[in-house]
Chain A
Amino acid sequence: AQSVTQLGSHVSVSEGALVLLRCNYSSSVPPYLFWYVQYPNQGLQLLLKYTSAATLVKGINGFEAEFKKSETSFHLTKPSAHMSDAAEYFCAVSYNNNDMRFGAGTRLTVKP
């Protein structure tokens, strides 16, 4: 069975500071991994995806994530937070079958 754990339901950073949102997965086989962002009253928007082509994945809005098999992690980072990054972020895992399992989400707050 595959599942996703997001450590920290709420992360708060200052504008310009590093953003680090943690995601660990459990999967018996190499998974596909995704980060989605959800702004208030909107659906989920794909930030980036890992599909085994490269361990460091660059996404939209300056975000990137690194797949670390030894740590079963896929943490999301951004060097410098912007006020517009405030949203809910979801990590998700899938293996070859389009079934997607989501983490509980991390709410990012950016302080001025």
Chain B
Amino acid sequence: GAGVSQSPRYKVAKRGQDVALRCDPISGHVSLFWYQQALGQGPEFLTYFQNEAQLDKSGLPSDRFFAERPEGSVSTLKIQRTQQEDSAVYLCASSLAPRGSGGSPVQYFGPGTRLTVT
């Protein structure tokens, strides 16, 4: 079956440009997560959606980062006025159950978007 897909796979932006990264989660998955993975590091949580509601954005590093999931399926992470420190791989993950519903919360990851800010 189809997994989580992300586009573009690679993005090069000049400092100051805006970028938009897309995530298509597994169909029917309620939960959607965005992570930032710096070179040589593990993924760091950015934000969480339950359907269309953004319930947690505590990991967003600045107000230049904005995410949406208007219809509860596809999500877009937007970074305004990109800076060099934004260079990283941005991973999207989806999970069947809502956060906090118990059980074993397996997250399924997409291939990521590698953003390079020059």
The count of chain B contact residues (Cβ–Cβ below 8 Å) is 32
Report whether A51 and B42 are in contact in the complex, using a CB–CB cutoff of 8 Å.
no
The chain B residue with its CB closest to the CB of A94 is B105
The count of chain A contact residues (Cβ–Cβ below 8 Å) is 26
Q: A98-B31, A98-B95 are in contact. Are A103 and B42 (CB under 8 A)?
A: yes
Among the stretches B13-21, B63-71, B76-84, B108-116, the one at the interface with A is B108-116
Q: How far is the CA of A32 from the CA of B98 in the complex (A)?
A: 16
The chain A residue with its CB closest to the CB of B9 is A41
Report whether A104 and B31 are in contact in the complex, using a CB–CB cutoff of 8 Å.
no
Report whether A46 and B106 are in contact in the complex, using a CB–CB cutoff of 8 Å.
yes
The chain B residue with its CB closest to the CB of A100 is B107
What chain A residues lie within 8 Å of B44 (beta carbons)? 102
B61 at the interface (CB under 8 A from A): no
Choice from A41, A98, A100 contacting B97 with Cβ under 8 Å: A98
B interface residues with partner A (beta carbon < 8 Å): 4, 6, 9, 31, 33, 40-45, 48, 56, 91, 93, 95, 97-100, 102-112, 114
A interface residues with partner B (beta carbon < 8 Å): 4, 9, 32, 34, 36, 41-46, 49, 51, 90, 92, 94, 96-105
